[in-house]
């Protein structure tokens, strides 16, 4: 019995050593791709975009998921994959591309201080993978938009939420679905801006 106990202790110690050993693996870096966003309907008004803000837990480069079937209140990061920048920065870039296409010369970033008709503020509330079962998951994007006229006489708010199924329950599946969900939410946002500025 004593020899067996010593043997088990030696094996456990060896496994622990393997766990603590330094690794040379580098996290895979992801962004929202280099392809242009889907065509958006033209905007007649000049629009300035403020940098997208985000909830505190979205201010890191972690690609997060939650196990809806097990512990839906816990957000977990993928250990060997991460975003190239915080999600708010990635969404800012995608919005900039889409609005630049839709508004043409009438688009600017608020920080540039150029003349504009409206200022758009966007707050990213959700940007995650929801794992419903061990073999199925979906990407969830939720953003709150506030459009304010340059003279601050009019203001409107709207929440845009989009979901897309993930092709696989892993970081790569999450990234591709989040990109699709982001583009869908932004397309609806641009349509909303058009309806708010049509007059």
Is residue 8 pLDDT above 60, yes or no?
no
Query: What is the pTM assigned to this prediction?
Result: 0.85
* CATH class of the 29-196 domain in this structure: alpha beta
Domain ranges of the chain: 29-196
Alpha-carbon distance 107 to 195, whole Å? 17
User: Residue 26's pLDDT is what?
Assistant: 84
CA distances, 26 to each of 22, 29, 82, 131 (Å): 12, 9, 10, 25
pLDDT tens per residue across span 109-132: 999 999 999 999 999 999 999 999
pLDDT over threshold 80, residue 170: yes
Per-residue pLDDT tens for 92-112? Answer: 999 999 999 999 889 999 999
Residues sharing a CB contact under 8 Å with residue 47, sequence separation 6 or more, in sequence order? 99, 103, 106, 107, 108, 116, 117, 118, 119, 120, 193, 197
pLDDT at 199: 67
**Would the pLDDT of 195 be above 80?**
yes
- Give the CA distances from residue 57 to residues 50, 61, 139, 161, 185, in Å, rounded to whole numbers and listed in that order: 20, 10, 16, 18, 20
Question: In this predicted model, which residue has the larger pLDDT, 41 or 15?
Answer: 41
Does position 1 have pLDDT exceeding 90, yes or no?
no
Mean pLDDT of 37-62: 93
């Amino acid at each position: 019995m004593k020899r067996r106990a010593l043997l088990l202790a030696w094996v456990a110690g060896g496994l622990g050593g393997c766990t603590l050993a330094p690794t040379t693996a580098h996290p895979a870096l992801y962004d929202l791709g280099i392809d242009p966003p889907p065509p958006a309907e033209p905007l007649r008004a000049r629009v300035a975009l403020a940098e997208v803000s985000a909830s505190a837990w979205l201010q890191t480069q972690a690609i997060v998921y939650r196990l809806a079937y097990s512990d839906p209140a816990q957000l977990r990061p993928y250990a060997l994959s991460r975003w190239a920048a915080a999600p708010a920065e990635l969404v800012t870039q995608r919005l900039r591309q889409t609005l630049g296409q839709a508004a043409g010369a009438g688009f600017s970033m608020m920080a540039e201080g150029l003349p504009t008709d409206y200022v758009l503020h966007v707050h990213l509330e959700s940007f995650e993978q929801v794992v419903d079962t061990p073999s199925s998951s979906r990407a969830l994007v939720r953003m709150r938009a506030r459009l304010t006229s340059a003279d601050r006489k009019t203001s409107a708010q709207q929440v845009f939420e989009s979901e897309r199924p993930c092709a696989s329950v892993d970081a790569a599946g999450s990234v591709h679905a989040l990109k699709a969900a982001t583009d869908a939410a932004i397309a609806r946002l641009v349509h909303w801006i058009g309806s708010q500025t049509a007059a």
